[in-house]
Structure 1
Amino acid sequence: MTVEKQQQDSEKITQDLMRQFAVIFRQITKHKLAGPFQEPVDVEGLCLHDYYEVIEKPMDFSTIKNRMEAKDGTGYKNVREIYADVRLVFKNAMKYNDERDDVHVMARTLLEKIEEKWLQLLPKVAEEEKRREKEQTATQVATKLAEEASHANMARDLSNELHEVDMQLERIREMVVLNSRKISTEEKKKLGTALTQLSHQDLIRALEIVAEHNPSFQATAQEVNLDMDTQSDVTLWRLKVFVQDALKVSGRNSEGTGMGCNSNINNDDNKAKININNKNRNSPASKRKGGRSDAVTRASTKRTKKISLNSLNPLNP
């Protein structure tokens, strides 16, 4: 059942209950004791100077009838509102007049009759109110779920847009690299030196960059051979930018090429064997999470830079 159909059914039941109570109301207004309650109390004519001090909200049958028939939106919303005003007519009379006064007695008599009739109608009223409450709860839950789904869609769309932006930036970055000059042999040597100054995490990321452009490169091996001369310019430029950023964040010196380091490297025409370990444990940098890699190097006859990842294995001492 649609929400619109539920609302239509609920409105139909409410109107039916109000019609049933209207019959009860007409019976009360035609009672022989109903005369004093037909119209508003004539406060001035009866010289009831303290009436409005005693009665906060005056009420009478004609006022109730007019509101029941109102078409301008000021009418009663449900049957309980009508019943409350009818009771108020009699409660006011009983409150203002002494219990031995005729008006007080008449009001009490009619109040008992209207309450008796109300008890007969009450089960239907309570059932409808309970059903309406369930519908309202279901509507609120559905609305909340719809809002959450909308927010989730917005978050997903935003995530997709951000991902697309990242991809576009990556493509732009690669285009810039492709249009850049080739990296010199000296820059390759300094890039290799700078790699030894990276933290474990940054070094792993650097090797992943190499692997992205060279599928055959084993970035996760215990010891890797990184030949700078065989890497593409795109790879080398990406490495250079990454290393510059990583060293800048770590606070290491990056003068000159932007990747300078203080390790003891003995490069011979860009031919060096580089082993990464954690021997320098007393330096402040090595105490940081992930540590810094000391560079212990020696000359090699190979034209590659060999990087040992034993120290990157958390199982190693």
Structure 2
Amino acid sequence: MLESKVIEVEQFYQSTDVQNNDCKTKGRKNPLTGSKKPLQHASEEITCHVSKIITEITRHEYAWPFLEPVDVKGLKLYDYYEPMDFSIIKRKMNAKDGSGYKNVREIYADVRLIFNNAMTYNDETHDVHQMAEILLDEFEKKWSHLLPKLTKLEAELSKETHENLNKKLAQEATYANMTMKLSDELSKADMALKNLKSLMIAKCRKLSSLEKSLLAADITKLSPDNLHKALEIVNENNPNFQFSREDVTLDLDSQEKEVIANIEEEKKSDVKRRRMM
């Protein structure tokens, strides 16, 4: 029961780490195939409408001055700080690496920037100024038809985001509380094991010569990993014991009862593991 709870908590935090890393490294994900959520469908529908509006505006007979970047150096527009044109907008709309637009209102702002720049840097009598004014008015009319749907979608998305955030916070609080309880349970279990170990050592007797011989023979049969663990146990109680060499001499007569008991326990565990394999 305790082990299953520990595994559950570990899996939760591991999955959380994976999700965070995916968000950082992968950027936008491709839409899932199959049925779509209503809000996702509505969002894609609005994006499609905005794309259609952009296409209609760029095909207008007055759109040609705004399709490519302005020659800032050639026109000596040294204070032209926010250059924008439809080639930039289309590139950002088609970006797949996460560098594009996060929502359609960003597209709206950039389209307005194109025409406002043109009207700012060209006199009212200039053709480009007048063309920009006409196209901006046309764009605003088309956008106004889309705005009610967009406002409704944003409200629904905000509500869904708030609900999802509350669910996530509640889930994190649940697992944080579970982690604290597990920590207490594991501490108690660790203390109980230490007490049991002390009791077992206290009841240990000295090995007979025959038992020492049998133990020495059994030690050589341990798997490499478990043999290393057994030698580590000896080293914990006898720091001068060098167990990292290729040839190791272990004097059982000089070892404490605790060391012998731990080695015996490691031997039994190794036998059980081999039987289960």
- Give me the TM-score of the superposition, normalised by structure 2: 0.53
- Partners of 1:110 and 1:27 in 2: how far apart? 10
Shift in alpha-carbon separation, 1:83–1:169, aligned structure 2, 3 A: same
The separation in 1 between residues aligned to 2:202 and 2:88, in whole angstroms, is 85
Matched with 2:51 is: 22
- Change in CA separation of 1:105 and 1:164 when aligned onto 2, cut-off 3 Å: same
Contact 1:14 1:79 in 2 (8 A): no
**Larger relative contact order (CA 8 Å, sep ≥ 6):** 2
**SS at structure 1 position matched to 2:101:** coil
Deviations 1:20-55 (A, max 9, x none): 1122122212223222212222334xx311x1x322
Query: For residues 77 and 64 of structure 1, what CA distance do their matches in structure 2 show?
Result: 13
Between the aligned partners of 1:41 and 1:90, the Cα distance in structure 2 is 12
List runs of 5+ in structure 1 lacking aligned partners. Answer: 180-317
The aligned residue for residue 145 of structure 1 is: 170
Q: State the one-letter code of the partner of 1:13.
A: A
Q: Which residue of 2 aligns with 1:114?
A: 139
Determine which structure has the larger helix proportion and give its number.
2
Q: 1:93 to 1:173 in 2, by over 3 A?
A: same
Instruction: Kindly indicate which of the two structures has a greater share of residues assigned to strand.
Output: 1
Alignment of 1:145-294 (within 5 A): 145-168=170-193
The alignment's TM-score, normalised by the length of structure 1, stands at 0.47
Which amino acid is the alignment partner of residue 78 of structure 1?
N
What secondary structure does 2:90 align onto? helix
Q: Distance in 1 between matches of 2:169 and 2:124?
A: 54
> Could you tell me how far 1:9 is from its partner in structure 2?
4.3
User: Quick one: which amino acid aligns to residue 58 of structure 2?
Assistant: T
Match of 2:75 among 48, 58, 71: 48
Give, in whole Å, the separation in 1 of the partners of 2:176 and 2:35: 27
Are 1:13 and 2:42 matched, yes or no? yes
CA contact (8 A) 2:89 2:110 kept: yes
Q: SS at the partner of 1:116?
A: helix
Distance 2:94 2:109 in 1: 17
Q: How many residue pairs get matched?
A: 172
Q: What root-mean-square deviation, in Å, do the aligned CA atoms of Structure 1 and Structure 2 show?
A: 3.0
Which stretches in structure 2 are left out of the alignment for 5+ residues?
1-31, 205-277
Q: Assess, with a 3 A threshold, how the Cα gap between structure 1 residues 154 and 95 changes in structure 2: closer, same or farther.
A: same
Match of 1:97 in 2: 122
**Superposition deviation, residue 76 in structure 1:** 2.8
Matches within 5 A, 1:45-84: 47-49=74-76, 51=77, 53-84=78-109
Aligned equivalent of 1:261:
none
User: Displacement of 1:106 after TM fit?
Assistant: 1.8
Q: Determine if the alignment matches structure 1 residue 127 to structure 2 residue 156.
A: no
Q: Are the aligned partners of 1:54 and 1:96 in contact in 2 as well (CA < 8 Å)?
A: no
Structure 1 pair 48/165, CA: closer, same or farther in 2 (3 Å)? same
Quick check: which has more Rg, 1 or 2? 1
| Aligned residues with identical type, % of pairs | 38
Query: How far has the Cα of 1:87 moved from its partner?
Result: 0.9
